[in-house]
Structure formats: structure tokens, C-alpha cells
Amino acid sequence: NPCATSPEVEKYLQPFQLSPETLQEVSARLRKDLLRGLGKHSHHKAPVKMLPTFVRATPDGTEKGDFLALDLGGTNFRVLHVRVEEEAQKVQICAIPQEMMLGTGEQLFDHIATCLGDFLESHNLKGQTLPLGFTFSFPCEQLEIDKSILIRWTKGFNCSGVEGKDVVQLLKEAIHRRGDYHIGSVAMVNDTVGTMMSCGYKDQSCEIGMIIGTGTNACYMEEIKNVKRIEGKDGRMCINTEWGGFGDDGCLDDILTEFDVEVDKTSINPGVHIFEKMISGMYLGEIVRLVLVKMTKDKLLFKGQISEALGTPGRFETKFISEIEDGLENAKKILTELGLDWDLVDASVVRLVCDTISSRSAYLCAAALATLVNRIRNNRKLGHLKTTVGVDGTVYRKHPTFSSKLQKAVRLLAPQCDITFLVSEDGSGTGAAMVTAVAQRLAHQSRLLEESDGEDNEEEEEEEEEGQ
Ligand code: BGC
């Protein structure tokens, strides 16, 4: 039997070990792809979509208000009632059964409307018409804050009749079909944006939101003049990078392992979100499982015996990686539960496999984040950038060493940036409400300005329209 660090074992792990130079190269490739995504003529075909979010400002900490929030696309579907200034909130988690994730869009939105209805009922909110923040964590072409077209499903969702449609409209129609309650204005946001906004309430230098959970993605504040398909030159807009799609044009093929290729091939969306499939919680467990199966077939583990559980796709959960890396006793327990005949060397090899694959995930995220902070620094022509990243997601939160590895690697890859990492307290829920709150604050401020100017803007706008 080989020991954990023998050359035979090393052979399987080596393709997952990315040198600092490779990470720098990955970061440089992403830098180019960000530009393609921002370009007026290149964005259509760009693998990294760089989607405008219509969020032009982060919170200043004075926002107030009472909101409803929906959060779809992470581990759980949740309904929330948020009071921004009090940080008080009520949350209800609703399961979304697997069949529904693959059923029709109408069924999905009816279910969402039912969960919201039940929530309003049980919290005595049915008579009120509250503004609603909708965190919808999939790539959407946002036309306005309340108009957002689903580009494609990711992360195991594949409901028919939703891609290419306005998701806010589908939600409103479902609520209308019930007819027993009303909602106010809707603000739709990606979970990265929600995370940035909720962290931004506490720390006003937060200008990046990052998720490493079921899926992975990040958003950041970009100069509007660089977003070529948006009119205007002044100020900033939050861009949802959709970095999960990095590599979809084959530009990461040289670092993919045979196991990544297999995970992609057997997923419900082959060829799509290649970067995400190397990083996020939906896929990490399966990569580990495939490596363990191969090593067992090659008689390096478990006396060459694959248990039924280990042979079953999806049975090795990503949370096992965190647990196994957390301690040898956990590893033993999980291997026993998976019906494997293990010895101590097996257990330590499995720990090494988990560590290698989760580390690669952390380093790839670090490379991508380094690209963003370096970009912000260059945009502002700063020698040194101090900024805060709001982070959320089960992988980042639950894994014992993921966050420290990621942070260390970003420091190496972006030495002129000083980054504070702020774990968002339920960002994807409250953040959507925060977007509405910031919009209300800005509207209120500009109303005050208008009043003091005494100008009649409406007339001016009408004249402008007529003149066009
Ligand atoms: C989606 C993103 C989302 C990320 C994290 C990805 O699959 O495309 O929109 O932000 O998952 O939830």
C-alpha cells in the first residue's frame, strides 16, 4: 500500500496543482475576457458576460425601509421581510424539489408565489404592498432594475420556458394568477450584487461582491465610460461579471484535468460554465469522487473495491470535503458511511485528494479576484488600492481553510491591493432590499435637489423626447 505522499498518488494530484505562474496566466486571460465582455461589439460572443446591473451606487449607510425579499439560486429558496435600519428580518426557507428545478417555468413561479403568499399570511403582511427585492442568481440581461431576461439556467436548474423571458414579469404573472396579494415595485439583483450591497451598508469601501457557493461569480463597480454598450460617461455601474463562464470558449482547456472534462460532460449543461465547474460547491464533491474512483480502480485505494455509494454520481457531497479536511476522525466516519473498506493510509490519501481539489478552487478564485482588484486599481490610476470584498457562499463559509488560502493567494497575485474580506450576513436576501433602499435614497435626494432648484424637469424631458 502506498503512503499518502508516494509518487503513485502524486501522479493523480499533480494536474490539479497550479503554480503561481499558471495562476498569473489565468488572471491575465481573464483580464482580456473582461474587456471582451465590456466591448460594444465583442460582448455578444464573450464567454465572461460582464452584465450591466443598473446599480450605480453603493449604500451610504443612511438607507431605511421595509421590504420583502426573495432569494432563488443558492442552497435554499428563501422569503424574507427586511427592515433595513434595524437589521431585523424574518426568514422562511422553502424547499424547491428537484423535479421542480427541471419542470416548467410556470410551475416554478407558481411555487414561488405560493411560498411568498404563505409567508405574507403567516406574518400578517398580506394587506400591505411592500417593495420587493428579488435575488435571482443566474445570468440575466438586465434592461432595467425591474426588467431582466434570463440568458440561461445554471447550477442544476433547467425549467422550460424561462430562458429569453423577463423573470420579473413571470413572477408578477404568477402572483396575479393567485390574485390574493399585491407587491410594490420590484428590484431584481444577482446574489453577488446583493452581497456587495449588504456589505456596503456596513463598510462603504465595499465595491466587490463574490460568491463561492453552489455556483461562483463576482460583481464590481466599473467606470461607466468603460461599459461600451451603456450610454453615458460619468460615474460607475456595478457589473455582474458572470465569471463562471470563463473558459467556455476553450481558453482554459490546457489546465482542465480529465476529471473536469468528465464533470462537464455529465452535467446538465455541458460546455457551459467551465470555470464554475472547477470551483463551486455543485461540482467539487463530484470531482473528488471521480478521482477516488480512478485511484481505486488502479488499486491505490480501498483494496481496489469501489462501494456502491462511491460508484454513484453525486453521492460524494461537497460538504464531505470540508468535513474530511477538518479532521481524520471525520474522514474515517464518512468513508465508513460510504461503505468503503478503508485503512489509515486510505484515509490520509483521501484527505490529500480533498485538500488538493479544494485548494485549486481557492487559488483559481484568487486569480479571478486578483484580476478584478487590479482592474479597479488601474481604472483609478492608483499606485495602491484599499478595498473591501463582500463574500458569501457555502464553500467560502464552511470550508476550514478555503478563505485563508484564497486571501493569501490574492495577496501574492495583487500585491498593490490591500483587501478586506467581509462575510456577508445574509447578503443575498437583504442586499436586494438594499438596492431598492439606495434607489429610494437617491430619488429622495434628487427630489430635494430639484425642489431647491425649482426646475421643471418633466417639461425639459418632454421637449427632449419630441426633439428626437
Ligand atoms: C450564476 C451566477 C451566480 C452564481 C453564484 C452562477 O451559476 O450564473 O449568476 O451569481 O452562480 O450563485
Measured distance CA(325)–CA(395) in Å, rounded: 13
User: What is the residue whose three cell numbers read 456589505?
Assistant: 199
Strand order in the sheet with 132-136: 88-94, 77-83, 66-72, 132-136, 186-189
| Local structure of 205: helix, strand or coil | coil
Domain region containing 11: 7-52+204-415
- 73 lies in the same domain as 38: no
Task: Give me ligand 1 centre to Cα 214, in Å.
Answer: 8
Tell me, yes or no, whether 456 lies in a domain. no
The count of C-alpha atoms lying within 13 angstroms of the C-alpha of 70, restricted to the half-sphere facing its C-beta, is 27
Instruction: Pick from 210, 216, 273 the residue to mutate for probing ligand 1's pocket: most ligand atoms within 8 Å of its CB.
Output: 216
For residues 119 and 175, give the distance between their C-alpha atoms in angstroms, rounded to a whole number.
13
Ligand 1 contact, 440 CB (< 6 A)? no
191 is catalytic: yes
User: How does DSSP assign 442-460, residue by residue?
Assistant: HHHHHHHHHHHHT--HHHH
266 and 333 housed in the same domain: yes
Extended beta strands in 125-212, E state? 132-136, 140-144, 147-150, 186-189, 206-212
Distance CA 431, CA 89 (A): 12
Residue 243 near ligand 1, beta carbon < 6 Å: no
| In-domain check, residue 458 | no
Taking the centre of ligand 1 as the mean of its atom positions, its distance from the CA of residue 444, in whole angstroms, is 32
CA-closest residue to ligand 1 atom 2: 138
With a 6 Å cutoff on the Cβ, whether 139 touches ligand 1 is yes
**Ligand 1 touching residue 148 (CB < 6 A):** no
Quick one: 351 and 314 in the same domain? yes
CB 192 within 8 A of CB 240: yes
210 alpha carbon – ligand 1 mean position (Å)? 10
Closest to 391 (Cα-Cα) out of 423, 427, 429? 423
**Catalytic pick among 71, 191, 260, 426:** 191
The answer to whether residues 15 and 121 belong to one domain is: no
Greatest C-alpha distance within the chain = 84
CATH number of the domain at 408, please. 3.40.367.20
Find out whether the beta carbon of 192 lies less than 6 Å from any atom of ligand 1: yes
Residues contacting residue 152 through CB under 8 Å, at least 6 positions apart: 138, 139, 163, 269, 272
Annotation says 333 is catalytic: no
- For the chain, how big is the Rg over CA atoms in Å? 23
Of residues 33, 110, 146, 155, which has the active-site annotation? 155
pLDDT at site 185: 87
Same domain, 210 and 172: no
Say yes or no: 208 and 92 in one domain. Answer: no
- Asked if residue 459 belongs to a domain, the reply is no
Q: Which pLDDT tens digits describe the chain residue by residue (468 residues)? A: 446 678 889 999 999 999 999 999 999 999 999 999 999 999 999 999 999 998 988 888 888 888 899 999 877 899 999 887 776 678 899 989 989 999 999 999 999 999 999 999 999 999 899 999 999 999 999 998 889 999 999 998 999 999 999 999 999 999 999 999 999 889 899 999 999 998 998 899 999 999 999 999 999 999 999 999 888 889 999 999 999 999 999 999 999 999 999 999 999 999 999 999 999 999 999 999 999 999 999 999 999 999 999 999 999 999 999 999 999 999 999 999 999 999 999 999 999 999 999 999 999 999 999 999 999 999 999 999 999 999 999 999 999 999 999 999 999 999 999 999 999 977 777 888 888 778 777 777 777 877 877 655 544 444 444 443
How far is Cα 179 from Cα 254, in angstroms, rounded to an integer? 54
Residues 336 and 406 in one domain: yes
* Per-residue pLDDT tens over the stretch 238-269: 999 999 999 999 999 999 999 999 999 999 99
In the reported structure, the alpha carbon of residue 111 is separated from the centroid of ligand 1 by a whole-number distance in angstroms of: 21
Q: How far apart are CA 360 and CA 280, in angstroms?
A: 11
Say whether both 304 and 236 belong to one domain. Answer: yes
- Per-residue confidence (pLDDT) for residue 465, from 0 to 100: 45
Pocket flag, ligand 1, residue 71 (CB < 6 Å): no
Copy the grid coordinates of residue 81.
421581510
Same domain, 235 and 256: yes
Same domain, 284 and 406: yes
Q: Which of 211, 214, 318 to mutate to test the pocket of ligand 1 (most atoms within 8 A of CB)?
A: 211
**How many angstroms separate the CA atoms of 176 and 201, rounded?**
33
Q: How far apart are CA 194 and CA 200, in angstroms?
A: 10
3-class state of residue 330 by DSSP: helix
Taken in order 33, 187, 145, 101, the sign of the CA dihedral is positive
CB of 142 within 6 A of ligand 1: the answer is no
User: Which CATH number is 71's domain given?
Assistant: 3.30.420.40
* Number of residues written out for the chain: 468
Q: Is the minimum distance from the CB of 247 to ligand 1 under 6 angstroms?
A: no
Report the domain count for the chain.
2
Closest CA to 393 of 237, 282, 227, 265: 282
In a shared domain, residues 269 and 377: yes
Which residue minimizes the CA distance to atom 11 of ligand 1?
A: 215
- Cell numbers 473582461: residue: 34
Residue 194 beta carbon below 6 angstroms from any ligand 1 atom: no
Instruction: Give the position, in ligand 1's atom list, of the atom nearest the Cα of 138.
Output: 9
